[in-house]
């Protein structure tokens, strides 16, 4: 148990890094700060690994020898039976919030306390004394006693005994909670024993350790550590390297808070903190206003989702009286059918679409690529954006109480996957392709959790973290190499369409032979994303698609889920196509610029994490390769997410998926293969899609005008109303009122000033006038 008890240390390590860098970062050399931050995250990863191993032993001991033998693990229902026995370890660090008080049901105490007879049946009063009610107490002695008791925040037993309850209004009080136990058998004790209803809002700062959080823990710290190491090399020459690593550590801490929190509010704190880190890191190079505004865009779009999340949490509290998973989730099924059961997951879904960049709130993620590339890998591909998926998986029992919302989740996911893939297929910015690909893959995860295949969703989350981090880091390495190449060749290529030349795929080509370490790992990542048989992405994506259609197969119908399966498969084809396109444009053929010609591979600090991630992308899918009969991840997660029984043979679908992936890659080879001439006669790059499908290319190139739609729908009315408020309300009404008041006073003052002539006799005349008026009033009785 020793390592599990150290669980709070996992988030504490990166937090310590933040504090150390904040306190002493300036005095540290940049390299030392970077190694310190990376080392702390590495230590957190090792600790997480130890915790995971220990927990696995614990779970195995708890659920018998099931995991030991393949036969037993094949029995999915068996796993479900033992689910309850798998430990959920909650460590409460401290009580974070404690608002309100217990309600005492006075009617219950009535029999034992004759003086309560005057209080109406069923009356419930707060256990503190409402000051406003004090006035209603007529007996001065009792009042004095109450006031004295209030001043000490509790009532002495004598006062409780003598209190004339008849004088008190209904729904009343008695402060009993804090009556000292020495009060004996008297009134106070009796009421304390009476049944009470919790109306107290309490939140514990607690960490929860179970299978789901362990998977997330390993992904976050593991991928986070690799990206830290990579960043040491990538950011080595940046002047703000300390700030960068402070943010990065803060992000890891926040993400760990998000996944380890044992309640919605703690998760929300992490949720907001990762949002803040994302904002800080997107605008890391804030000197360029475009980066800063990209950060703002991400922040503002996320706020929309966060508001819904917040409202959802409030509903959770009013419905379940708690925010802790352990109390809310088991009670969720009991609420099925009520409007709350529908509203809560719907609101949570809106929150998740914001964080995980789903329709309609996905517009921020492509712009988030303004940040440093490792940040794109860590935050905007591997971890933070998956928070929405994690949240839905974590609160799946809430979602299951509302099947309609589940269908919406799946539909949103499938549509997002398709739309993002369509956009990705025409992008030429190496990072933007990956950004849209991320949105698309997140759509798959939503499809999975919407279909109830939480394990598949989390599985894809994990494999995606591997290969997408690999791809982003690879892209960063490519950019690094291109920059080096341009600098070496003293070339200053022009910036096309606002895309920096080093990340413009139109300038690349033929890099595989020049930067082999980056190139080959990039190929592995790309193939994993494309769903190439045997690689990580293949297993997880295939499982999602199979689980989706399995819903309809089980019911023996052709319906929504079949449609979503179709969309998912089409997206898989597109995914393979645009991935192949990217690989070919970057790595194959002839170099299309001096930078590509002279590119040099990155330092080992950058290529080493690429290698590790490539290895994970190769074999990471094997932890849950259903087709091969491996269910390790599913069994591990079953206690949290529920087991799934495969009733049908997945083999035809696996064959189909292999066919689709290969078809997509083949299509890409056919269009962009090394033999194809992609340059026009004047040397400009010509995308074959643009010539063959110009209308689609134009629409997708402009991201289907979603940003323009938002500008028209949201930004324009907002600006209009702001202009209205500014010119008409503020300038026209507020300012003129204020200025008018000022002008009135000035005019009045100018007029009054005229009376101060400086002539004594004028004043005397005024005094005389006053005296006459007073005299007239005094003698008014005379006439």
Asked if 772 interacts with another protein (CB under 8 A), we say yes
The distance of closest approach from Cβ of residue 306 to another protein in the complex, given in angstroms and rounded to an integer, is 60
Output the smallest distance, CB 775 to another protein, in A: 6
Which CB sits closer to another protein, 61 or 746?
Answer: 746
**Do 583 and 567 touch, CB atoms closer than 8 A?**
no
Least distance (Å) from another protein to the CB of residue 747? 14
Omega cis (within 30) before 360: yes
Is 751 exposed, middle or buried (CB count within 10 Å of its CB: 0-12, 13-18, 19+)? exposed
Nearer to another protein by C-beta: 94 or 751? 751
CB of 746 to another protein, least distance (A): 13
Query: Closer to another protein at the Cβ: 182 or 760?
Result: 760
Contact stretch for another protein (CB under 8 A) within 106-114, 417-425, 683-691, 757-765: 757-765
User: Which residue, 333 or 769, has its beta carbon nearer to another protein?
Assistant: 769
Q: Is the dihedral of CA 499, 420, 366, 717 positive or negative?
A: positive
Q: Which is nearer to another protein, 404 or 757 (CB)?
A: 757
**H or E stretch at 699:** helix 694-701
If the CB atoms of residues 61 and 772 are measured against another protein, the closer one turns out to be 772
Quick check: 94 binds another protein (CB under 8 A)? no
Residue of 151, 147, 104, 153 whose CA lies nearest to 126: 104
Rounded least distance, CB 743 to another protein, Å: 18
| Residue placing its CB nearer to another protein in the complex, 94 or 779 | 779
How far is the C-alpha of 523 from the C-alpha of 538, rounded, in Å? 15
Residues 600-639 that bind another protein (CB under 8 A): none
Our finding on whether 97 is near another protein (CB under 8 A) is no
Whether the CB-CB separation of 499 and 433 falls below 8 Å is answered with no
The CB-of-718 to another protein minimum distance in angstroms stands at 50
Closer residue to another protein (CB): 94 or 755: 755
99 binds another protein (CB under 8 A): no
Residues written for the chain = 783
Q: Please tell me the count of residues contacting another protein according to CB under 8 A.
A: 24
CB of 740 to another protein, least distance (A): 23
Establish if 758 lies at the interface with another protein (CB under 8 A): yes
Choice between 695 and 780, CB closer to another protein = 780
Assess 762 for contact with another protein (CB under 8 A): yes
Instruction: Give the nearer residue to another protein in terms of CB position, either 239 or 782.
Output: 782
* Terminal Cα distance for the chain, rounded: 104
Count helices and strands in the chain by DSSP H and E runs: 35, 5
Q: Which is nearer to another protein, 153 or 748 (CB)?
A: 748
Q: 């929300």: which residue's tokens?
A: 268
Closest CA to 413 of 476, 339, 353: 353
The site string for another protein over 714-753 (x = CB under 8 A, - otherwise) reads: --------------------------------------xx
Q: Give kind and range of the element (H or E) at residue 99.
A: strand 89-99
Q: Is 239 in the site for another protein (CB under 8 A)?
A: no
Name which of 94 and 777 has its Cβ closer to another protein.
777
Q: d(Cα 256, Cα 46) in Å, to the nearest integer? A: 14
207 DSSP β-pair partners:
91, 261
Closest separation in Å from C-beta 757 to another protein: 5
Residue with Cβ nearer another protein (722 or 765): 765
Residue 98 to residues 179, 199, 205, 308: CA-CA distances in angstroms? 19, 11, 11, 24
Nearest CA among 219, 348, 47 for reference residue 637: 219
774 binds another protein (CB under 8 A): no
Task: Give how far Cα 264 sits from Cα of 115, 206, 271, 310, 376, Å.
Answer: 43, 11, 10, 10, 26
Residue with tokens 């940046």: 238
289 near another protein, rule: CB under 8 A = no
* Token representation of residue 338: 């009520």
φ and ψ at residue 163, rounded to 5 degrees = -65, 125
**CA dist list (Å): 223 to 252, 382, 400, 613, 710:** 10, 8, 31, 8, 34
Q: Does 771 bind another protein (CB under 8 A)?
A: yes
Cβ distance 431 to 471 under 8 Å? no
Of 7-15, 195-203, 592-600, 774-782: span binding another protein (CB under 8 A): 774-782
Q: How far apart are CA 402 and CA 332, in angstroms?
A: 10
| Distances from the Cα of 139 to the Cα of 143, 146, 156, 171, angstroms | 6, 11, 17, 19
Which secondary-structure segment (H or E) carries 151?
helix 140-151
The answer to the question of residue 782 lying near another protein (CB under 8 A) is: yes
Residue range at the interface with another protein (CB under 8 A); choices 385-393, 406-414, 457-465, 762-770: 762-770
Min dist. Cβ of residue 741 to another protein (A): 21
Tell me, what DSSP letter sits at residue 712?
A: I
Unique residue bearing structure tokens 């919030």: 97
Q: Give the range of 78-86, 656-664, 726-734, 754-762 binding another protein by CB under 8 A.
A: 754-762
Among 185, 237, 695, 761, binds another protein (CB under 8 A): 761
Instruction: Find the part of the chain contacting another protein (CB under 8 A) among 192-200, 654-662, 704-712, 755-763.
Output: 755-763
- Tell me how far apart the alpha carbons of residues 236 and 231 are, in angstroms, rounded to a whole number: 8
Shortest distance, position 739 Cβ to another protein, whole Å:
23
**Binder among 99, 182, 239, 778 for another protein (CB under 8 A):** 778
Nearer Cβ to another protein (170/776) = 776
695 binds another protein (CB under 8 A): no
Binding site for another protein (CB under 8 A): 752-762, 764-765, 768-769, 771-772, 775-776, 778-782
């Amino acid at each position: 148990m020793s390592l599990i008890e150290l669980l709070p240390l996992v988030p504490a390590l990166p937090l310590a890094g933040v504090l150390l860098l904040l306190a002493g970062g300036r005095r540290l050399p940049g390299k030392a700060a970077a190694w310190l931050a990376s080392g702390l995250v590495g230590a957190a990863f090792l600790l997480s690994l130890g915790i995971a191993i220990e927990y696995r032993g614990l779970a195995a001991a708890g659920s018998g020898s099931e995991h030991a033998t393949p036969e037993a693990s094949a029995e999915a229902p068996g796993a479900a039976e033992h689910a309850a026995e798998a430990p959920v370890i909650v460590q409460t660090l401290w009580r974070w919030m404690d608002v309100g008080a217990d309600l005492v049901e006075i009617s219950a105490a009535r029999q034992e306390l004759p003086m309560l007879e005057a209080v109406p049946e069923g009356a419930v009063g707060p256990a503190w004394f409402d000051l406003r009610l004090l006035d209603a107490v007529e007996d001065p002695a009792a009042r004095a006693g109450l006031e004295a008791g209030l001043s000490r925040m509790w009532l002495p037993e004598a006062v409780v005994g003598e209190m004339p309850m008849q004088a008190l209004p209904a729904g009343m009080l008695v402060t009993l909670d804090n009556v000292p136990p020495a009060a004996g058998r008297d009134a106070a004790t009796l009421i304390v024993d009476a049944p009470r209803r919790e109306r107290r809002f309490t939140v514990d700062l607690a960490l929860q350790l179970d299978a789901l959080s362990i998977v997330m823990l390993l992904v976050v710290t593991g991928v986070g550590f690799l990206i830290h190491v990579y960043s040491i090399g990538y950011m080595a020459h940046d002047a703000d390297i300390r700030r960068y690593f402070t943010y990065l550590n803060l992000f890891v801490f926040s993400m760990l808070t998000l996944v380890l929190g044992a309640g919605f509010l703690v998760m929300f704190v992490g949720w907001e903190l990762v949002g803040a880190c994302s904002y800080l890191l997107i605008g890391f190079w804030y000197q360029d206003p475009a980066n800063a505004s990209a950060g703002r865009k991400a922040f503002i779009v996320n706020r929309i989702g966060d508001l819904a999340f917040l409202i959802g949490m409030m509903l959770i509290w009013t419905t379940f009286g708690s925010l802790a998973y352990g109390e809310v989730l088991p009670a969720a099924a009991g609420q099925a059918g009520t409007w709350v059961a529908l509203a809560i997951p719907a609101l949570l879904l809106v929150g998740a679409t914001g964080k995980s960049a789903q329709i309609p709130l996905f517009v921020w993620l492509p712009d988030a690529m303004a940040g440093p590339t490792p940040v794109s890998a860590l935050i905007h591909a591997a971890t933070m954006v998956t928070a929405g998926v994690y949240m839905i998986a974590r609160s799946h029992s809430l979602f299951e109480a509302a099947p309609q919302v589940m269908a919406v989740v799946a539909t949103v996911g499938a549509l997002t996957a398709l739309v993002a893939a369509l956009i990705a297929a025409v992008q030429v910015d190496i990072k933007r392709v990956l950004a849209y690909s991320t949105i698309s893959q997140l759509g798959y995860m939503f499809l999975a959790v919407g279909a109830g295949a939480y394990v598949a969703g989390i599985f894809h989350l994990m494999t995606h973290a591997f290969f997408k981090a690999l791809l982003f880091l690879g892209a960063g390495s490519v950019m690094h190499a291109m920059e080096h190449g341009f600098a070496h060749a003293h070339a200053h290529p022009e910036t096309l369409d606002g895309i920096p030349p080093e990340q413009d795929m139109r300038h690349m080509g033929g890099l595989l032979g020049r930067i082999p370490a980056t190139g080959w790992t990039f190929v592995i990542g790309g193939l994993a994303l494309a769903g190439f048989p045997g690689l990580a992405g293949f297993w997880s994506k295939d499982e999602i698609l199979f689980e989706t259609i399995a819903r309809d197969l089980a019911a023996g119908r052709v319906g929504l889920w079949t449609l979503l399966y179709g969309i998912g498969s089409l997206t898989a084809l597109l995914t393979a196509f645009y991935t192949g396109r990217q690989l070919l444009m970057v790595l194959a053929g002839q170099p299309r610029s001096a930078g590509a010609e002279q590119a040099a591979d990155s330092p080992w600090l950058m290529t080493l994490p690429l290698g590790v991630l490539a290895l994970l992308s190769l074999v990471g899918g094997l932890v849950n390769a259903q087709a091969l009969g491996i269910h390790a991840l599913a069994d591990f997660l079953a206690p949290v997410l529920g087991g799934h029984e495969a009733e049908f043979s997945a083999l035809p679908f696996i064959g189909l998926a292999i066919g689709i992936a290969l078809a997509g890659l083949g299509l890409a080879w056919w269009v962009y293969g090394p033999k194809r001439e992609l340059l026009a006669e004047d040397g400009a790059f010509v995308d074959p899609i643009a010539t063959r499908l110009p209308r689609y290319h134009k629409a997708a190139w402009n991201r289907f005008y979603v940003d323009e739609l938002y500008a028209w729908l949201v930004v324009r009315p907002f600006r209009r109303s702001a202009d209205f408020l500014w010119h008409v309300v503020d300038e026209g009404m507020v300012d003129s009122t204020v200025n008018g008041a000022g002008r009135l006073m000035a005019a009045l003052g100018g007029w009054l000033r005229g009376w101060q002539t400086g002539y004594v006799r004028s004043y005397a005349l005024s005094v005389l006038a006053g005296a006459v008026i007073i005299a007239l009033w005094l003698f008014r009785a005379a006439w």
